Each structure stands twice: as structure tokens, then as C-alpha cells.
Chains A and B, each alone.
Chain A
């Protein structure tokens, strides 16, 4: 995999990752998400809350769904998770919070938690680490991933990631663990993650 950088160079990786430019459009997407950011920093306990249900269809009529969060990541493993929900913060890129393969992006709200992956109502995988973030626009012409200099606050995007790795609480690191998504790629391989972008959002926020 190669990812463009703003100096014209590329970040090269030996393996594949969920952070490339290739994408497929799937229809009938629905997202309902309610987040509460009550705990600002990593903590042993958190009053943050997330209720999310996201679904979409393939051309054969199958319904894919992700639900979160059965449990929030109250504090981070390799990077902070701000009690599970974070608001108004830079993530990814140079921040080293999450992957550096995504550009540095202003995040209006984001979360990390453990949830469930379903296909046609059947649970395929759980618990899985699920990350969502509402950010400024990070895709350019042809839907290619922007470099830091190209990211704009033009519009908002919501990113849903069911990551192909899992936390190992003994080692304190993430370890590769493909997600059972139920979506077969043209080469016969099962897609080992979900990285889904939602746009055209209705957003409301309040501060108590």
C-alpha cells in the first residue's frame, strides 16, 4: 500500500491497510448515533456514553450492521481515548492518536468502544473494537485520501471503523485480528475490516 504525502512522497507499507484510496459505494446506509462527552481525559471510569447503530446494503440485498458500544474504552491502550468519547480535538496524522496513515483531522466528536458486527441480523463478530469520528472533510477528487495540507472544514464526514486488530490487555498493545464482516471481495477474500464513510449528516449538539 502507498499513501501520498504533501511533499510528493509516499508512505509505503508492506501489508494492506484500511486507509487507502480504493472504495466501493453501498446503498441504503443509515446511521443513528448519540454521544455524551462527560469525562474529558483517560480515566478508570467514565461517564461518557455512546449509542450507535449503522447499517448499509450490498447489491445482493444483504444488510450489514454495526452496533456500539457495549463497553466504552475508558482509557487508551497505545493512545488516549479521553474516557471513550472526545470532542473538538485533533486526531490521527501527527497527533499519533490512532493511525498516522490518516491525515491530521479536526474531530468534532469521536469515540472508541467495543461493539457487535452483524449481517442480515446474525452476529458475525463480537466484541470488536469500534471507532467513530465526526470530522472535517478528508477526501479529495476521486475520493482519494487527503494529505494534511488538503484537509478542509468544507463539510463534515463521519468515519466508522471496525478495526482489524484487537487490544491485548496483557501486552498492552493491539494485535492483528481480522474482522468477520461477511462481505466477500472480488478476489474471494473476506473484507477484514469495515471503514465506512457517512455523509449528508443531520447533526445537533448541546452543551449542558
Chain B
């Protein structure tokens, strides 16, 4: 019964668990500073909006080699923009073209932005680390010069 104390304690093992978190009913933490790559774009970036619905909008963008994508976190939650298969727990969450370097925004606080310039053509699949289980993924298609 709740809260009634008598005797007899069976002690098998003692586990200690410490949890720290922050942000949201669907919540996340503002503990670590995001890494925002220096702007290297030569022209206006394609903008992807990160939403409270745990989506990247648009989910798929197409750009030319050398162009930059900017992600804008309009959500109340902390998110990441992670194009790194080594940080994914599902094989479908991230993929890079051959020769492309992985990228990761780190934790993006509300209203923060992240930019990445794509120099290798191909299809990039990225995800949000805290919400990978909720299928929060996006794609950037980078077209080579001369492709239609």
C-alpha cells in the first residue's frame, strides 16, 4: 500500500540514477553551446525551418555545389542538425555522398541558426539527435555543375 511502513526490506542491489534535462513538454536542455559554422556563403542561403512539430521544413531541399543551407530553430525546443552516420542509432537517419565530410550543429537553442556549405554533390540525409526516434530527418540534394 502507498506509504505504509512495516518491516522486511529485501535488498538485492542498489542502483543510483541521476538525470538532468531541460526544455519542453517534449523537453530538452540548454546546457551546451551550439557550434555555428562560420558563414562561407557567396550567395543567399537556402533556409530550412526547425519546428515544434519535430520537423525540418522543407524536409528536402535541392541546391548547387558550393551553396549554403541555413537552419533556423523556430521551436521552443533544443534540436540538432546532424549529418553524421556515426552519431545515428538508425541506419536510415543519416547518409553522406562518397567523399563528403560529416557535419553537426551541436545543440541549437531556440532562435539560433546553423549554416553548412556543401562542396560535394550527392544526397545528404541528416537528423536531430534528441528526436531521432520521432523520425525528425531531412535531406539536402546537392547538384553537380551542369546537372539538370
B-binding residues in A (CB < 8 A): 23-41, 43-47, 56, 71-75, 77, 83, 85, 87-88, 108-109, 112, 114, 129, 134, 137, 139-143, 152-155, 157-158, 167, 169, 172, 196-208
Chain B residue contacts of A108, Cβ below 8 A: 17
In the complex with contacts A74-B4, A114-B2, A158-B19, A25-B14 CB distance below 8 A: no
Assign chain B's interface to a size class: 35 or more
Taking a contact as CB atoms under 8 Å apart, the answer to whether B76 and A25 are in contact is: yes
Residues of B near A129 (CB, < 8 A) are 2
Residue of A nearest to B53 (CB): A142
Most chain A beta-carbon neighbours within 10 Å: one of B23, B29, B77, B107: B23
The reply to whether B29 and A200 form a contact with Cβ atoms under 8 Å apart is yes
Pick from B11, B15, B29, B107: contact of A87, CB below 8 A.
B15
**Contact between A25 and B19, CB atoms less than 8 A apart:** no
The reply to whether A25 and B77 form a contact with Cβ atoms under 8 Å apart is yes
Is B27 located at the chain interface by the 8 A CB criterion? yes
Known: A200-B28, A200-B130. A25 touches B89 (CB 8 A): no
Would A198 and B21 count as touching, CB distance under 8 A?
A: yes
Interface residues, chain B, with chain A CB atoms under 8 Å away: 1-29, 31, 52-54, 75-78, 89-90, 107, 110, 129-135
Q: A200-B22, A200-B27, A202-B29 are known contacts. Are A35 and B17 too (CB-CB below 8 A)?
A: yes
Q: Is the CB of B133 within 8 A of A198?
A: no
In the assembled complex, the CB of A27 is this many whole angstroms from the nearest CB of chain B, namely: 4
Tell whether, in the assembled complex, residue B10 and residue A40 are in contact, meaning their CB atoms are under 8 Å apart.
yes
A139 contacts B133, CB within 8 Å? yes
Q: Give min CB distance, B40 to chain A, whole Å.
A: 28
**Do A197 and B26 touch (CB < 8 A)?**
yes
Smallest Cβ-Cβ distance to A201: which chain B residue: B21
| Given A25-B77, A27-B76, CB of A205 within 8 Å of CB of B10 | no
Inter-chain pairs besides A29-B24, A202-B21, 10 sampled, C-beta below 8 Å:
A26-B27, A26-B76, A27-B76, A34-B16, A43-B10, A45-B7, A83-B9, A198-B27, A201-B19, A204-B17
